């Protein structure tokens, strides 16, 4: 692939970065990212994925836009209330950059359909809000050999982890949370509240990590950081990183690798 003069102009600030360069920008244009969940995390993440020039996007969300979403889900406007999030997000993308290739699904992702919904992706970003869905997505990524960025946020704290359980010695998301959460039993932001800007920080940080993952081996932006969980604190503010080891008896990735 070669970039047209218009695309070279659009991404000139990327291309002049030695850590990205022309080869890196071409890699982004050729990449396909599946974004699962277009809420507080997926919304700002998607904006910066598109702005980065990632050429192909798959959007998965079965929810509709509610007025309470607008406090943190920056991709939507009051006109989108009552409409599906996936379709509304595609409309935003078409207005932002009509050169992007976008597939949408308003199906609820589950263990049964996760594999088909992420098929063909170079990277999956999961911003969903319950453990059952997150584990279904993680299991599908391991089975398909696709790396995963899993992000979560609540109140004033967030986390972003990079997982590649299909690789030897690398942990998957299930290695981190275990099997006890295979149910939709976690707290929601409706119960606990959330600072809107906190969701923005986590989502844009996930987008930054996505670019790093996609450019691994092409640029000098840095290593993907598999098995590293970044914990973001909006009150301090600050960030710390911990390393998650591969669980040798994990039912998802112990034998897959």
Is 152 within 8 Å of 159 (Cβ atoms)?
yes
Tokens 């949370």 belong to 177
What are 76's two structure tokens? 């939507």
Q: Is the pLDDT of residue 257 over 60?
A: no
Is 55 within 8 Å of 29 (Cβ atoms)?
yes
Measured CA to CA, the distance from residue 151 to residue 194 in angstroms comes to 15
CA distances from 111 to 69, 132, 143, 247 (A): 26, 9, 11, 21
Q: Is the pLDDT of residue 186 over 60?
A: no
Tokens 């047209």 belong to 4
Predicted local distance difference test score (pLDDT) of residue 125: 98
Predicted local distance difference test score (pLDDT) of residue 221: 87
Using one digit for the tens of pLDDT, what is the confidence trace for 218-233?
988 888 999 999 999 9
Catalytic residue (choose from 141, 172, 175, 189): 189
Measured CA to CA, the distance from residue 140 to residue 217 in angstroms comes to 24
Predicted local distance difference test score (pLDDT) of residue 185: 55
User: Annotated catalytic, 253?
Assistant: no
Using one digit for the tens of pLDDT, what is the confidence trace for 35-58?
999 999 999 999 999 999 999 999
Measured CA to CA, the distance from residue 46 to residue 196 in angstroms comes to 16
Measured CA to CA, the distance from residue 229 to residue 57 in angstroms comes to 24
What are 188's two structure tokens? 């929601």
> What is the average per-residue pLDDT within 3-14?
97
Predicted local distance difference test score (pLDDT) of residue 192: 74
> What is the average per-residue pLDDT within 7-19?
97
Q: Is the pLDDT of residue 108 over 60?
A: yes
Q: Is the pLDDT of residue 19 over 80?
A: yes
Model confidence, pTM: 0.94
> What is the average per-residue pLDDT within 88-102?
97
> What is the average per-residue pLDDT within 182-211?
82
Phi, psi angle pair for 28, to nearest 5°: -65, -40
Q: Is the pLDDT of residue 8 over 90?
A: yes
């Amino acid at each position: 692939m070669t970039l047209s003069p218009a695309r070279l102009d659009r991404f000139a600030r990327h291309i002049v970065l030695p850590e990205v360069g022309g080869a890196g920008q071409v890699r982004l244009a050729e990449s396909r990212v599946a974004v699962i969940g277009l809420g507080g995390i997926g919304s700002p993440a998607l904006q910066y994925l598109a702005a980065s020039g990632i050429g192909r996007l798959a959007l998965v969300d079965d929810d509709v836009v509610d007025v309470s979403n607008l406090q943190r889900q920056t991709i939507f406007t009051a006109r989108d209330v009552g409409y599906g999030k996936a379709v509304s997000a595609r409309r935003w993308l078409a207005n932002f950059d009509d050169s992007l290739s976008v597939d949408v699904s308003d199906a609820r992702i589950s263990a049964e359909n996760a594999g088909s919904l992420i098929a063909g992706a170079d990277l999956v970003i999961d911003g969903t809000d319950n453990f059952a869905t997150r584990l279904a997505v993680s299991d599908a990524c391991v089975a398909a050999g696709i790396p995963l960025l899993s992000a979560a946020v609540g109140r004033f704290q967030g986390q972003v982890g990079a997982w590649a359980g299909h690789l030897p010695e690398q942990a998957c998301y299930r290695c981190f949370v275990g099997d006890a959460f295979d149910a939709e039993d976690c707290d929601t932001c409706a119960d606990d509240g959330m600072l809107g800007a906190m969701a923005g920080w986590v989502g844009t940080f996930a987008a930054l990590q996505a670019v790093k993952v996609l450019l691994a081996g092409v640029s000098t932006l840095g290593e993907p950081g598999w098995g590293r969980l970044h914990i973001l604190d909006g009150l301090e503010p600050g960030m710390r990183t911990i390393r998650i080891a591969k669980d040798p008896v994990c039912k998802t990735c112990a034998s897959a690798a």
